[in-house]
C-alpha cells in the first residue's frame, strides 16, 4: 500500500494538458446534451485496432472523461454510440437494435475508416456496409486506426467542452 502511495506521489499527473477545443461544428443533436455524453461502444466488426485507441483515449494520458464523456454499460444509459469497424452481416441487426434501444436525443459516431466507408474491407463477402448504411451517422472520425487525439477531438465536439 505504501508502495502504491509512493508511486502516486512520484508519478503525479500524467494527463496531458488539454489541447484547444475543436472548431465548433457540433452536431445539432449534441447541443441538448450540454456537456455530458454517455457513450456505448459497439464493435460492429472491427479488427480491434480502433478499440485499442479508444482505450487509450479514455486512459490517463488523454483522459477523455475530463470533457464530460463516459463509457457506459447499457445503450439505455447512452447518448451516443461509438461504432467501430465495418458492419458485418451478423452485426447489422444488433447494431440497428442497439440504436433503437438508445433514448432520444441520440447520436452515432463512426470511428475509423472501416466504419466510415468500409476501408480495406469494402466489398468483402461478409460485409453489410459502412455504419452509415445501417444507422444515421452524426460524426465521423477518420484514421486507420484514428489517433487517440482524433477520438478525443471528436468526443469534444459532442460535449462542447
Give the interface with another protein as residue ranges (CB under 8 A): 1, 4-5, 8, 11-15, 18, 32-36, 38, 60, 63, 65-68, 70-77, 79, 91, 93-95, 97-98, 100-101, 103-105
Q: Closest approach of Cβ 82 to another protein, in Å?
A: 13
Q: Report whether 37 contacts 3 (CB < 8 A).
A: no
The residue among 72 and 142 lying less far from another protein, judged by its C-beta, is 72
Q: What angle do CA 141, 109, 93 make, to 5 degrees?
A: 125
Rounded to the nearest 10 degrees, the angle between the axes of helix 148-159 and helix 49-57 is 60
The residue among 94 and 126 lying less far from another protein, judged by its C-beta, is 94
DSSP three-state, residue 67: helix
Q: Closest approach of Cβ 59 to another protein, in Å?
A: 8
Grid coordinates standing for 53?
485507441
The residue among 76 and 122 lying less far from another protein, judged by its C-beta, is 76
Amino acid at each position: 500500500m505504501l508502495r502504491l502511495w509512493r508511486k502516486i506521489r512520484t508519478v503525479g499527473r500524467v494527463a496531458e494538458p488539454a489541447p484547444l477545443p475543436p472548431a465548433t461544428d457540433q452536431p445539432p443533436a449534441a447541443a441538448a446534451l450540454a456537456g455530458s455524453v454517455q457513450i456505448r461502444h459497439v464493435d460492429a466488426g472491427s479488427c480491434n485496432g480502433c478499440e485499442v485507441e479508444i482505450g487509450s483515449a479514455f486512459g490517463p494520458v488523454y483522459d477523455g472523461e475530463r470533457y464530460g464523456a463516459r463509457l457506459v454499460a447499457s445503450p439505455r444509459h447512452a447518448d451516443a454510440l461509438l461504432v467501430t469497424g465495418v458492419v458485418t452481416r451478423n452485426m447489422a441487426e444488433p447494431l440497428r437494435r442497439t440504436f433503437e434501444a438508445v433514448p432520444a436525443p441520440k447520436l452515432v459516431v463512426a470511428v475509423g475508416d472501416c466504419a466510415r466507408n468500409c476501408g480495406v474491407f469494402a466489398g468483402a463477402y461478409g460485409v453489410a456496409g459502412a455504419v452509415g448504411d445501417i444507422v444515421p451517422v452524426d460524426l465521423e472520425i477518420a484514421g486507420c486506426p484514428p489517433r487517440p487525439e482524433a477520438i478525443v477531438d471528436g468526443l469534444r465536439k459532442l460535449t462542447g467542452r
